[in-house]
Amino acid sequence: MIKPYVLPDLKQAQRRQKGETPIERTLFDIPEVLRTAGKGKTYFIRTYGCQANERDSETLRGILEAMAFTSIESMEDADVILLNTCAIRENAENKVFGEIGQIKRLKQTNPDLLFMVGGCMTQEEHVVNRILAKHPQVDVIFGTHNLHRIPQLMLQAYYSKERVVEVFSKEGEVYENLPVSRNSLSKAWVNIMYGCDKFCTYCIVPYTRGKERSRLPEDILCEVRELAYQGYQEVTLLGQNVNAYGKDLDLKVDFADLLAQVAQCGIPRVRFMTSHPWDFTDKMIEVMATQPTIMPFLHLPLQSGNDAVLKIMGRRYTADAYLDLVNRLRTRMPHLALSTDIIVGFPNETEEQFEDTLRILEKVRYDNVYSFIYSARESTPAAKMEDNVPQDVKEARLKRLNAVIGAHALEKAKAMVGQTVSVLVDGPSKKNPAIYSGYTDTNKLVNFVPTTAQTGQIVHVLIESARTWTLQGKQVAN
Ligand code: 5AD
Ligand code: SF4
């Protein structure tokens, strides 16, 4: 029997149910016939977007490998292709549709190819409708809430030869039972919570990833301890807004408590992202300042430096409150590196409002800034606002913004010349295997001449020169 499609519904996704989210711990179910389905077969996953997607792809890899599929580097030769997509801006979506179009050709040369598309984009009604109408080469469409269903969906697709569509609009359980195949042996992503309840007016994430659901502290700590035991050197705790950690639990535990405990698990480098400036507490600053394993780096999205724009964005802080937070952070941690996100060309943003953003940048002088032109996302409140800012004005603003960003980044990088820094080694560079690369504690990319350095080690590097986005140096004795 062909199962009916389960289609996404953004209105339903917007609703929030009260109460704790149930946890799924039962043994992960792979139907008997699929346990060896991938023997001799290969899979290829392309991941778009943020770290949450990167981590989801590691779960997808875990699931496919549990069915005996093996990973392959080239998409052309794969038996299963999976795109894990991002919906944050229109250009991200256009890239995915371009890729979906390309894969049609592969499907023609290899009719047995199984092509699956999932992630944030497929949580949107218009995307699923477009794939259904125009892209018959897609065999399986799934969403962010049903990764655990991949084996069953593949089974359906293999047996029925009909396309399979299952996208849940509402989050289900917190899944503690899914396999994982990590991309790195030294750096690991660890989810601490899923979803977002902030509903910034421009953002699609609360719709595509559902309500805030925290994992239990003991589950997180158990995972981090296991990673320490396996020799991991760095963990990054992940959540759309980690500051909200624990608010949905009945445990009186907050992010600062969790962070303090993770810092003691034996992992040399602990990072976290992302923090909303609105609920960043002094208790969190204190934990960051006193725990040596927490890296002196913070991603703190500003979005705009103008109070009226921040208000319409639904950000719940003013530019002054943001600057005050930066001051408190820097007073306690003078060497803290800061990065941020900025959106230019929000509906009706004036020249003066844009210049307010530039002024904040001049005051804070970030190490790194991710800058974006506003992109209307269907069903978000901002998408309904009329917008009097022409696209070429938005583009010109982005250009001006990027010039300031680059100047500050270069200034920060140059200040490091002559310093000896600790670097977690990622390995030899692809272009020149005689040069190694890695990241400093402040998250700066370093290319260096190694002496003893091995992938996954933390070594000392003397910085000899600086470019805007990279430092160059040589390894020195630890
Ligand atoms: N348009 C442009 N940028 C956006 N972001 C989120 N939604 C949009 C949008 N609709 C940016 C924000 C956020 C980052 C992850 O992406 O700056 O912090
Ligand atoms: Fe989007 Fe705002 Fe949530 Fe970040 S905090 S994911 S920008 S809604």
The Cα–Cα gap between 172 and 211 comes to 10
For residue 118, give the nearest of 100, 133, 98, 91 by alpha carbon. 100
Which helix (H) or strand (E) segment is 372 a member of? strand 368-373
Least confident piece of the model among 41-45, 71-75, 168-172, 238-242? 168-172
Mean pLDDT, residues 250-259 taken together: 96
Which two tokens mark 205? 């994430």
Amino acid at 19: G
User: Are 323 and 462 in the same domain?
Assistant: no
Same domain, 213 and 325: yes
The response to whether residue 303 sits with its C-beta less than 6 Å from ligand 2 reads no
Whether residue 424 sits in one domain with residue 402 = no
How far apart are the C-alpha atoms of 2 and 10, rounded to whole Å?
25
Q: Tell me the per-residue pLDDT of 143-197, one tens digit each, with 9 for 90 and over.
A: 999 999 999 999 999 988 789 999 999 888 899 999 999 999 999 999 999 999 9
Partners of residue 462 on adjacent β-strands: 420, 474
Mean pLDDT of 448-477: 97
Give a yes or no: residue 162 inside a domain. Answer: yes
Per-residue model confidence (pLDDT) at position 2: 57
CATH of the domain at 435: 2.40.50.140
Task: Output the CA 418–ligand 2 centroid distance in Å.
Answer: 39
The model's pLDDT over 427-459, given as tens digits with 9 standing for 90+, comes to: 999 889 999 999 999 999 999 999 999 999 999
Position 3 in a domain = no
Cβ of 276 closer than 6 Å to ligand 2, yes or no, is yes
Element (H, E) at 208: helix 205-209
Task: Please work out whether the CB of residue 423 comes within 6 Å of at least one atom of ligand 2.
Answer: no
Using most ligand atoms within 8 A of CB, pick from 339, 346, 370, 372 the residue to mutate for ligand 1.
372
Q: Is 303 in the pocket of ligand 1 (CB under 6 A)?
A: yes
Segment 463-468 shows an average pLDDT of 98
Say if residue 397 is in the same domain as residue 250.
Answer: yes
402 and 430, same domain (yes or no): no
**100 and 197 both lie in a single domain:** no
Beta strands at 471-476 and 458-466: parallel, antiparallel or unpaired: antiparallel
Looking up residue 151, the CATH number of its domain turns out to be 3.40.50.12160
Please identify, among 166, 192, 214, the residue that sits at the C-terminal boundary of a domain: 166
> Mean pLDDT, to the nearest integer, of 42-63?
97
CA distance 181 to 188: 11
pLDDT exceeds 90 at position 31:
no
- Ligand 2 geometric centre to CA of 52 (Å): 13
User: Whose CA is closest to atom 17 on ligand 1?
Assistant: 341
In ligand 2, the atom with minimum distance to the C-alpha of 240 is: 6
Counted domains in the chain: 3
What 3-state class would DSSP assign to 218? helix
Between the CA of 271 and the centroid of ligand 1 the distance, in Å, is: 21
The reply to whether 172 falls in a domain is: no
Establish if 5 belongs to a structural domain.
no
Question: Of 51, 18, 23, 17, which Cα lies nearest the Cα of 217?
Answer: 23
| 22 and 114 part of one domain | yes
Domain boundary among 413, 432, 460: 413
Half-sphere exposure of 55 (CA within 13 A, CB side): 20
Same domain, yes or no, for 444 and 398? no
How confident is residue 27, by pLDDT bands cut at 50, 70 and 90? confident
Amino acid 351: pLDDT: 98
Q: Ligand 2 pocket check: which of 203, 213, 310, 317 to mutate, most ligand atoms within 8 Å of Cβ?
A: 203
Looking at 413, 441, 461, which one is the last position of a domain? 413
Residue of 210, 192, 280, 191 whose CA lies nearest to 8: 210
As a dihedral over the C-alpha atoms of residue 450, residue 451, residue 457, residue 459, rounded to 10 degrees, the angle is -80
Query: Ligand 1 atom 12: the closest Cα is on which residue?
Result: 341
Cβ of 195 less than 6 Å from ligand 2: no
Percent of the chain with pLDDT strictly greater than 90: 91
Same-domain pairing of 141 and 20 = yes
Among all bound ligands, the one having the nearest atom to the CA of 202 is 1
Candidates 28, 43, 34; CA nearest to 67 is 34
CB 243 within 8 A of CB 280: yes
Q: Is the CB of 196 under 6 A from ligand 2?
A: yes
**Gap from CA of 270 to ligand 1 centroid (Å):** 25
Q: What is the CATH number of the domain that holds 317?
A: 3.80.30.20
CA 51 to centroid of ligand 2, rounded, Å: 14
- Note down the domain range covering 15: 10-166
| Terminal Cα-to-Cα distance of the chain (whole angstroms) | 65
pLDDT on residue 160: 84
198 lines ligand 2 (CB under 6 A): yes
| 467/335 same-domain check | no
Residues 143 and 186 in one domain: no
DSSP secondary structure of 373-405 = E----TTSGGGGS-----HHHHHHHHHHHHHHH
Q: Same structural domain for residues 150 and 133?
A: yes
For residue 403, being part of any structural domain is answered with yes
Asked if residue 186 is part of any domain, the answer here is yes
Q: How far is the CA of 78 from the centre of ligand 2 (A)?
A: 35
The rounded distance, in Å, linking the Cα atoms of 476 and 478 is 6
Residue 175 falls inside a structural domain? no
Element (H, E) at 440: strand 436-440
Q: How far apart are CA 87 and CA 207, in angstroms?
A: 10
| Distance (Å) from CA 206 to ligand 1 centroid | 12
Please name which ligand lies nearest the alpha carbon of 277.
2
Q: Is residue 173 part of a domain?
A: no
Tell whether the model's pLDDT for residue 254 goes beyond 90: yes
Percent of the chain with pLDDT over 70: 99
- Residue closest via CA to ligand 2's atom 5 equals 198
In the 8-state DSSP scheme, what is residue 103? H
Alpha-carbon span 423 to 440, nearest angstrom:
5
The stretches of 72-187 forming alpha helices (DSSP H) are: 90-109, 125-134, 150-160
Alpha-carbon span 457 to 475, nearest angstrom? 12
Contact 45, 84 (CB under 8 A): yes
